[in-house]
Chain A
């Protein structure tokens, strides 16, 4: 592993440790710059969970680093409590089936009273 990659991996580990729900995406929650990223933001906002974001468009190292870190070739990438959940398809499927809400509930990040 190169020094640069080690540094990026440390940054990623720091982000997913600091944010129970962490989204690596293109753009930010206010201005997603990709339809797939926008979809995941929309779902998380709909479920009313707080989440952190990192914009991979701001850093080529981060963009390649997160792909290598997760062993996943595309963006967005969602982590919950340090575990990789998936990209847009998986998050969308899990939202539709109710599994995402269950997962977030178990992770303790859903606001009380939100069913």
Chain B
């Protein structure tokens, strides 16, 4: 969060889109892994290419892994079109994260 204003834009957009699309969202964590991939294919100057997103939402109930990911991919289609290169996803329902 020390990044200069503007560098967190994609993370902020991802968060806003997912909160709206996967409402209600119980847990949402977005980390920008771009720096770890600097110099790799797909990495760009200025970063904002590689992210990990964890979401817990009842919207995923009844959906398999591929369907859950597609829901997120479709919500973020504009970001993929705009340079988002890699998105690691951990998508769970509230039931799946309940202890026991």
| Chain A residues with a Cβ under 8 A of chain B | 26, 33-36, 57, 71-74, 84-90, 93-94
Contacts and interface: CB of A to CB of B under 8 A. Distances in A.
Interface residues of B, number: 17
A86 B66 CA distance: 6
Interface of B: 37, 40-42, 65-66, 69-70, 73, 77, 80, 85-90
Given A34-B41, A90-B65, A90-B66, A73 B73 contact: yes
B73 A72 contact: yes
Given A89-B90, A90-B65, A26 B41 contact: yes
A26 to B, nearest CB: 7
B93 to A, nearest CB: 14
A89 B41 contact: no
Contact of A86 (B37, B40, B65): B65
